[in-house]
Amino acid sequence: MSTRGSVTELAPRPEIGEMLLEVENLAVEFRTDAGVVKAVNRNSFNLKAGETMAIIGESGSGKSVTAQAIMGIVPSPPGVVTADAIRYRGQDLEELSERRRRRVRGGDIAMIFQDPLTSLNPVYSVGFQIGEMFRVHRGMSRKEAKERSIELMERVRIPEARRRVGDYPHQFSGGMRQRVMVAMALSLEPTILIADEPTTALDVTVQAQIMEILKDLQRDNNMGLILITHDLGVVASVADSVMLMYAGSVMEKAPADDFYANPAHPYAHGLMKSVPRLIDQLDRLDAIKGAPPSLLNVPPGCPFNPRCEYAQDRCREEIPLLRDIPGYVGQVACHFAEEVRNGRT
Amino acid sequence: MSDAGHERPLVEPEVERAEAIAGARAGGNVETLERAASLWGDAWRELRKRWIFWIAAGLISLFTLMAIVPQVFVAPSPATHDPRDCGLRAEDGTFQDRLRPSSEHWFGTDLQGCDYYARVIYGARVSIVIGVGVTALAGLIGLTLGGIAGFYGGWFDQLISRFVDVLFAIPFLVAAILFLNVIATAGNRNIGHVLLVLGVFGWPTLSRLFRASVIQAKAEDYVEAARAVGASNRRILVRHIFPNAIAPAIVYATIAIGGVIAVEATLSFLGVGLTLPAISWGLMINTAQTRIITDPHLLLFPGIFLSLTVLGFLLLGDAVRDALDPRLR
Amino acid sequence: MAEPETLLEVKQLVKYFPLTRGVVFRRHIGDVRAVDGINIDLKTGETHGLVGESGCGKSTTGKVILRLHEPTSGEAIFKGRDLFKLNKKEMREARRDLQIIFQDPFASLNPRMTVRGIVSEPWVVHGMYDKYERRERAESLLDRVGLNPEHANRYPHQFSGGQRQRIGVARALALDPSVIIADEPVSALDVSIQAQIVNLMQEIQEEFGLTYLFIAHDLAVVRHISDRVSVMYLGKIMETGTRDEIYERPVHPYTQALLSAVPEPDPVLERARERIVLEGDVPSPADPPSGCVFRTRCWKAESICAEEVPELIDRGQGHPVACHFPELMRILDVPTAAS
């Protein structure tokens, strides 16, 4: 195999359960004219090979910025990224030179975005753009790159790949374009794939297709998958673990099954009660009052306190840290998590 | 009811409201309401922050005042206050022409012995009047036609747009010279003629610009919402389309004033604009061109004043564009 | 209890958008068949959900009913009169009774008008009330939709998305209409806010005596709020019935595929579900398939599907369906018990 440009000397394909990503106390701030925006506060998490983690949050929660920080693509004049560590397979990414960091980006950790129409260059054919990954990073010839592109397009189930390799992005539907994005992201066989709202812009029937493709590809390569979304349903079937974010902070972290069955944080609980369902019908939607705060003015103490029905004085004064609570596998950032949980069950 | 240490948040009203509902509906919040901030108000505040704006405003105010009340500027000068009061010979018989700047004649004198300072000051009037007048005329025609074309579309649009295309195809300077020569022979030309010709040839760009913004505004949901409520076309144009489409036109018009002033000077310089006895910086520069080495002051002063005036409007246009830009959505 | 009467009857509504070529002299080369002959019955007091994916023509339907786009053909009988035959003046009057809530809370409010101005505009347009009354009524409306009336002087950009949508609701209520067409009213909002707006719409429905045509692509929301539902695909209605008929006893393959594709926030349920995955892409509405428009993606398609357009009629399943081979599949019945 040609030079990988990999950060570590480990074998390219990770073993299941191998620790791929360790993030410790990640924080991202944006220094703007209007003030300091604390986009991400002290976020810590791990990702193992073969694992799918869902980062769930609404707008302003900091979920996308977290992903950008891992990739190292947070725009750096206004943005300031600090972390105790961001370790990829043992190697701290922050210590790397920008050049090596760039090779990790795309080569080891790849990302796909929400809107495939704007992420793809409209003046180059799809095959050219996929092939570019091979030509630039692997030094392949045009012909070889084209063959590999067709292979990849077939792998993401684009019908008639050979015929369509010369087509342009606008000739594809939204769902197909997203598959092209996935193909591009996978071309260098990354160990981690970050998908930022990959299905939000797509119809529900197409959504299911894309999620299936992602899951299959992950299985083939023991890839780590980070799914960023606001849709509680889309990740229910694919996530192993869930991290819930609100106004830049992590509110809860738990295995998916436990989280969905009985979440601990009042925000999570409120979301579950307010999202209309197809199968388990709710009689009424219990809306969470209020709205997510502007990040220029995050409420002091627990950022969720103005909207929380259980809020006490302590919630307004002291920021709750993520901690374990008895009777629950996951961790919660709430001062009264036990009481709330007991009161409910 | 605790006010939870809320400072002046921009998007807190819903939370305040929610708290008010959740708790007692007791007397509302401690915090008083923030002043309403319209987009124009925001833009104005943005504008005031920029130092370019202040420099531009200073220059423009200066020259506008000069245009309106030149007497005020001329008053402190020890020389004659009438720019046309020229004497080739002084009482003592010496030649008064082409004198260097001195304590008596601040800018020296010109070929006829006129006090140059007074002439340069009075020259501002022509420039400002033409600059603003032409832009206003072009604005009137351009915004009307562009607005009709953009809003009604169809045949109106076809007709107007093709007409605009034809006008664009005509080289401006050639046409201006031609028309000015036809309308009034040299000597008979006055500000009015120049204003008319420049205005008539100046509106196409503005109309295209405005047409584009109108088309963009027309496609917005809030226009559809107004239709759904039953609003007439007139109301939609005035209340919804115009205020939201006018911003790029404002930027362009501001910069255009500077451009027009330069064009007038050019035409006068070429001999096809104003002619003597009009007082125009362009004319002065024309006369000065053959004497740059011998009497540089003849070129220097009108040149500087002209440049500064044009600069002022260009800077203003820049500042206005920046201030309006993020609000343009 | 008497059967509620039909308030708005849409018959064979067709809307084609012409495709032209050429700049100066335009040639008509085809049509985008956004809405291709649909019938909808809106009964007094009900919420009728019009559901479908992007490009199916549901939003266009709503706008054509209000004549924000002129219909290509068809009728819309509202309170005894065909809306499409009204002249300008009559239509203006009729508009007082039919209002709309838009999808995008950021684009549907004029950024240069105050909230008070926006909400009062309907009264200004129709010459209703004097200045003081308008002021009072505007503030009372804002209060009713959950906003602080003291903020009436503010501008839209000073509010959050959910609040702007509330302003949109207030504006729709201003003329006290009988029917409100809600065009994806919650799609652009944050998850935790969607429920607030849905609840608000339900609350005011009774209070103001409203009938809703609720256009959306989110099947879960539609299930929650609707009394009856119509499923749209490529400009045509595939199936229509009461909410329970559609969700619990769907008989059209497209409806079934749609229901099967909607994910539920419950991993245990999700793993137990069987998914129907549709192949292929949605055809272009400029060149729809002959016969049944869904046949290119349907697993049951036979030759008759290409030859004959299936009518939207009851074929014995209890509610109208446009399919030659309708068959009941209880998609939402999942074998394992939910938690």
pLDDT in tens, C75-101: 999 998 999 999 999 999 999 999 999
- What does the pLDDT read at residue B187? 64
Q: Is residue C58 part of a domain?
A: no
A281 at C interface, C-beta within 8 A: yes
- What does the pLDDT read at residue C171? 96
B181-187: average pLDDT? 73
**Nearest CA of chain B to the CA of C89: how many Å?**
9
What does pLDDT average to over chain C? 91
C266 at B interface, C-beta within 8 A: no
Give whole-number Cα distances, B198 to B256, B266, C95, in Å: 11, 12, 47
Residue C281's pLDDT band, with cuts at 50, 70 and 90, is: confident
d(CA C254, CA C231): 9
- What does the pLDDT read at residue B1? 32
Which of B5, B7, B15 has its CB closest to that of A291?
B15
**Chain A residue with Cα closest to B17:** A290
d(CA C25, CA B158): 10
Q: Where in chain A is the domain with CATH 3.40.50.300?
A: 19-239
Between the two ends of chain C, the Cα-to-Cα distance in Å is: 37
Rounded to the nearest 10 degrees, the angle between the axes of helix B191-218 and helix B154-169 is 140
Q: Is residue C327 part of a domain?
A: yes
DSSP secondary structure letters along C123-161: HHHTT-S-HHHHHHHHHHHHHHTT--GGGGGS-GGGS-H
Give the ipTM of the model, two decimals please: 0.87
Instruction: Using the predicted structure, report yes or no on whether residue B90 has a pLDDT greater than 90.
Output: no
- Contact at CB, A289 and C196, closer than 8 angstroms: yes
Instruction: Using the predicted structure, report yes or no on whether residue B17 has a pLDDT greater than 60.
Output: no
C278 at A interface, C-beta within 8 A: yes
d(CA A21, CA A71): 12
Q: DSSP label at B240?
A: I
> What are B206's two structure tokens?
């503005």
Burial class (CB in 10 A: 0-12, 13-18, 19+), A189: middle
Q: Is residue C291 part of a domain?
A: yes
Assigned superfamily of B43-328: MetI-like (1.10.3720.10)
Instruction: Using the predicted structure, report yes or no on whether residue B10 has a pLDDT greater than 60.
Output: no
C195 at B interface, C-beta within 8 A: no
**Nearest CA of chain A to the CA of C52: how many Å?**
9
Please give the backbone phi and psi of residue B96, each rounded to the nearest 5 degrees, phi first.
Answer: -100, 5
DSSP lists the bridge partners of residue C11 as C75
- Contact at CB, B227 and C102, closer than 8 angstroms: no
Instruction: Using the predicted structure, report yes or no on whether residue C212 has a pLDDT greater than 90.
Output: yes
C312 at A interface, C-beta within 8 A: no
Structural domain boundaries, residue C299: 251-339
> What are A10's two structure tokens?
């480990």
The dihedral through the CA atoms of A246, A252, A257, A258 has a sign that is: negative
- Contact at CB, C268 and A261, closer than 8 angstroms: yes
Which of C153, C163, C171 has its CB closest to that of B13?
C163
CA dihedral A273, A343, A56, A320 (to 10 degrees): 140
- What does the pLDDT read at residue B138? 93
Is residue C263 a contact partner of residue A237, using CB atoms and an 8 Å limit? yes
Which of C54, C163, C267 has its CB closest to that of A203?
C54
- What does the pLDDT read at residue B93? 72
B323-329: average pLDDT? 62
Q: Which residues of C touch B329 (CB under 8 A)?
A: 111
> What are B204's two structure tokens?
């196409």
Q: What percent of chain A is predicted at pLDDT more than 90?
A: 39
Which of C190, C265, C268 has its CB closest to that of A232?
C265
pLDDT tens digits along A145-173: 999 999 999 988 888 888 989 999 888 88
C159 at B interface, C-beta within 8 A: yes
What does pLDDT average to over chain A? 87
> What are B191's two structure tokens?
């500000």
Is residue A264 a contact partner of residue A252, using CB atoms and an 8 Å limit? yes
- Contact at CB, B11 and A291, closer than 8 angstroms: yes
Q: Is residue C103 part of a domain?
A: no
Q: Where are the domains of chain B?
A: 1-34, 43-328
- Contact at CB, A291 and B19, closer than 8 angstroms: no
The architecture of the domain spanning A19-239 is 3-Layer(aba) Sandwich (3.40)
Which of B13, B37, B230 has its CB closest to that of C125?
B230
- Contact at CB, C122 and B229, closer than 8 angstroms: yes
Burial class (CB in 10 A: 0-12, 13-18, 19+), B37: middle
- Contact at CB, C112 and B225, closer than 8 angstroms: no
- What does the pLDDT read at residue C335? 67
DSSP lists the bridge partners of residue A27 as A82
Q: Which residues of A touch B22 (CB under 8 A)?
A: 289
List, in order, residues 6 or more apart from A154 with CB less than 8 Å away. A161
Q: Is residue C296 part of a domain?
A: yes
Q: Which residues of B touch C146 (CB under 8 A)?
A: 14, 17, 21
**Chain A residue with Cα closest to B8:** A297
Place of tokens 């804002």: C142
C157 at B interface, C-beta within 8 A: yes
Instruction: Using the predicted structure, report yes or no on whether residue B326 has a pLDDT greater than 80.
Output: no
- Contact at CB, C277 and A275, closer than 8 angstroms: no
Please give the backbone phi and psi of residue C10, each rounded to the nearest 5 degrees, phi first.
Answer: -100, 125
pLDDT tens digits along B301-322: 999 999 999 999 999 998 988 8
pLDDT tens digits along C96-139: 999 999 999 989 999 989 999 999 999 999 999 999 999 999 99
- Contact at CB, A209 and C277, closer than 8 angstroms: yes
Classify each residue of A137-150 as buried b or exposed e, where b means 16 or more C-beta atoms within 10 Å of its C-beta. bbebeeeebbbbbb
C337 compared with A321, residue with greater pLDDT:
A321
C198 at A interface, C-beta within 8 A: yes
Which of B5, B10, B18 has its CB closest to that of A290?
B18
CB pairs under 8 A between A and C: 141
- Contact at CB, B14 and A291, closer than 8 angstroms: yes
Q: Are strands A91-92 and A52-56 parallel, antiparallel or unpaired?
A: unpaired
B220-247: average pLDDT? 92
**Beta strand segments in chain C, E:** 6-21, 27-43, 47-51, 73-78, 81-82, 98-101, 179-183, 211-216, 228-233, 236-242, 313-314, 320-321
Is residue C107 a contact partner of residue B224, using CB atoms and an 8 Å limit? no
C20 at B interface, C-beta within 8 A: no
C121 at B interface, C-beta within 8 A: yes
A239 at C interface, C-beta within 8 A: yes
Instruction: Using the predicted structure, report yes or no on whether residue A9 has a pLDDT greater than 50.
Output: no
Q: Is residue C20 part of a domain?
A: no
**Nearest CA of chain B to the CA of C300: how many Å?**
40
- Contact at CB, A274 and C191, closer than 8 angstroms: yes
A296 at B interface, C-beta within 8 A: yes
C96 at B interface, C-beta within 8 A: yes
Q: Is residue C71 part of a domain?
A: no
> Mutate which of B11, B17, B46, B222 to disrupt the C interface (most C C-beta within 10 Å)?
B222
B35-62: average pLDDT? 85
List, in order, residues 6 or more apart from B174 with CB less than 8 Å away. none
Domains in chain C, number? 1
Residue C2's pLDDT band, with cuts at 50, 70 and 90, is: low
- Contact at CB, B15 and A306, closer than 8 angstroms: yes
Residue C338's pLDDT band, with cuts at 50, 70 and 90, is: very low
